[in-house]
Amino acid sequence: MRSLVMSVFLFTSAIASAIGEAFVSLSTDPLLVWNYGVMGVLAGIAGIFFWLSTRKLDRNEDKLNNLREGHLETNKA
């Protein structure tokens, strides 16, 4: 499990480095407005997608915290 988590971490770091290298050409601007502007917009979009993917967890936090340890509770249909 530890190697899986580490591999996911390294993969996301590689993607971030690739995006950073893609925007190196924008750093020729002496004020770096485009570089920081584009990175700010990308971070904002990523924040919105993160919020959309985790907002349901916030609603269910109390129920998830009260689960018995080591047991999986399912709804019987």
Q: Indicate if the pLDDT at residue 7 is higher than 70.
A: yes
Backbone angles phi, psi at 21, to 5 degrees: -65, -30
Question: What pLDDT does residue 73 have?
Answer: 67
Question: What pLDDT does residue 77 have?
Answer: 62
pTM over 0.75: no
Nearest by Cα to 38 from 49, 54, 25 = 25
Please state, in angstroms and rounded to a whole number, the distance separating the CA atoms of residues 77 and 75: 6
Rg of the chain over Cα atoms, rounded to whole angstroms, equals 20
Helix (H, G, I), strand (E, B) or coil at 23: coil
Which segment of 1-5, 25-29, 46-50 scores lowest on mean pLDDT? 25-29
Residue 57 · residue 64 · CB < 8 Å: yes
Contacts of 19 (CB under 8 A, 6+ apart): 42
Q: What percent of the chain has pLDDT over 90?
A: 36
